[in-house]
Amino acid sequence: MAPSTPKTPRKTRAKAAAASAPKIELVATDPAPAKTNADLLARRQAAVARGVASAAPIFAAHAENAELWDVEGNRYIDFCGGIAVLNTGHRHPRVVAAAMEQEAHFTHTSFQVVPYEPYVALAERLNALAPGDAPKKSLLVTTGAEAVENAVKIARAATGRPGVIAFTGGYHGRTLLTLGMTGKVSPYKKDVGPFPGDIFRAPFPSVRDGITVQDALTGLRNLFLTDAQPERVAAIIIEPVLGEGGYTPVPFEMLKALREICDQHGILLIADEIQSGFARTGKWFAIEHSGVVPDLITVAKSMAGGYPLAGVIGRADIMDAMAPGGLGGTYGGNPVACAAALAAIDVIEEENLLERSLQLGERMRAQFADMGARVAPYRMWDIRGLGAMLAVEFVTDFDSAAPDAALTKAVCAHALKRGLLLLSCGMHGNALRIMVPITASDAVVAEGMAIFEAALADAVAELRG
């Protein structure tokens, strides 16, 4: 028998491989030509699917906290925050450092193959932050729509029921199941039906439409009588503050009544906190303002300070309804994003962003009321929200309260010209939502509000002709 060949130690093999690897020489080249927004816009239109819309015809070069510069060097104050993703600001040093430290170790293994501590540590933090005294567990995924879909899966597995009830004006995502729950046709649901069955729609209380809380609850109970047998309903899902639907807070009376109805019929209550979570409203989760404890919470957006991460938090007994392998995804709970999220949560705590959000919201609400009365009399019909999750709604006049989408669009356009990024929302496209990073300095916020006022004056003058 031939003698066995001694094995080379693993570290020695690695060093030898590195030594024999081909060397890459860097060759100096001429600097790349300066990019312009117009050039990049032309390339975008040729290469990117038409269905992907962009609010501003500029291209980002770099950003810091609440400021952004485009490829031509123009500076903008960011009141959009990546659609409420940047509560801790662009490139918060703590968040970036945590992500880079994790990248130095590994960027991906798939938690379903080789797990890692950042996922577990983040689940522990989320479980501790969520309201309610019952033991909790968490699932981490990548996008908000993925979180909502998994919340529905968990609810169905836990209850053995298929039905889901959502509300008019709610936004829960753009995948096929979440589109079924999203309560707005254009542009999201247009031409892409049919949608999954066993999804029902209840009325949302609306001052504009004359729907009181009692009217909404009556509509829900009528739904039980006409279409949605309560014993077949797994979950009721609601945004504690409507996002795309207009930044309208759910009246606390409504949330408390939903909790009672769910308890009465064995239905699970899902709070969709994807846009309203992580200090946006002055609480970790907007539903905390009401004192109501949901069974499941969906999270995403500002959880990871700009990195793609989402999740579901819920009562442990409910979260464990799915068998092993029934939850997860290749990229779910990416370790770099988890490290960023842990740092973002630290920032929210250590920089007192919950209190900062309340103060910022109170100050901006008063400023909006003042400028509306002075600059656009009888046009700024409503200023609403919780904490720094605010919206202003424009109408043609106070008597009819007819939605004025044209004025809203004009304010956005004039604000962009003056260096302020704004984003509209609402069923009629006549509201502007404020998503400025909570970490923004008082000086930058004040500058942004001054630009807002000037843009409003420009828009009013333009529409007057």
For residue 5, being part of any structural domain is answered with: no
What's the pLDDT score for residue 356?
98
Q: pLDDT averaged over the chain?
A: 93
- pLDDT bin (cut points 50, 70, 90) of residue 207 is confident
For residue 179, being part of any structural domain is answered with: yes
Of the candidates 347, 352, 358, 458, the one whose C-alpha atom is nearest the C-alpha of residue 409 is 458
In three-state form (DSSP H/G/I as H, E/B as E, the rest C), the secondary structure along 180-228 is: HHCCCCCCCCCCCCCCCCCEEEECCCECCCCECHHHHHHHHHHHHHHCC
CATH number of the structural domain spanning residue 381: 3.90.1150.10
Do 242 and 363 fall into the same domain?
no
Do 225 and 131 fall into the same domain?
yes
| Of the residues 296, 318, 350, the one at which a domain ends | 350
- pLDDT bin (cut points 50, 70, 90) of residue 403 is very high
pTM of the model: 0.92
Task: Please determine, for residue 24, whether its predicted confidence score (pLDDT) is greater than 70.
Answer: no
Task: Please determine, for residue 74, whether its predicted confidence score (pLDDT) is greater than 60.
Answer: yes
Do 158 and 252 fall into the same domain?
yes
- pLDDT bin (cut points 50, 70, 90) of residue 30 is low
Do 208 and 219 fall into the same domain?
yes
Reported as a single tens digit per residue, the pLDDT across 290-299 is 999 999 999 9
For residue 278, being part of any structural domain is answered with: yes
Higher pLDDT, 187 or 218: 218
| Of the residues 321, 350, 379, the one at which a domain ends | 350
What's the pLDDT score for residue 193?
87
Reported as a single tens digit per residue, the pLDDT across 32-62 is 667 999 999 999 999 999 999 999 999 999 9
Task: Kindly report the backbone phi and psi dihedral angles of residue 311, in degrees, each rounded to the nearest multiple of 5, phi listed first.
Answer: -175, 175
Do 314 and 222 fall into the same domain?
yes
Do 86 and 145 fall into the same domain?
no
Q: Which two tokens stand for residue 80?
A: 């959009």
For residue 245, being part of any structural domain is answered with: yes
For residue 411, being part of any structural domain is answered with: yes
Amino acid at 264: Q
Do 141 and 280 fall into the same domain?
yes
The domain of 282 spans: 106-350
Do 242 and 136 fall into the same domain?
yes
271 DSSP β-pair partners: 238, 297
Do 111 and 217 fall into the same domain?
yes
Reported as a single tens digit per residue, the pLDDT across 342-384 is 999 999 999 999 999 999 999 999 999 999 999 999 999 999 9
CATH number of the structural domain spanning residue 232: 3.40.640.10
For residue 154, being part of any structural domain is answered with: yes
Q: Which residues contact 4 (CB under 8 A, 6 or more apart)?
A: none
For residue 237, being part of any structural domain is answered with: yes
Q: How many CB atoms lie within 10 A of CB 201?
A: 18
For residue 368, being part of any structural domain is answered with: yes
Do 367 and 341 fall into the same domain?
no
Question: How many structural domains compose the chain?
Answer: 2
| Of the residues 293, 319, 350, the one at which a domain ends | 350
Do 357 and 292 fall into the same domain?
no
Do 440 and 304 fall into the same domain?
no
Whole-angstrom distance, CA of residue 311 vs CA of residue 303: 9
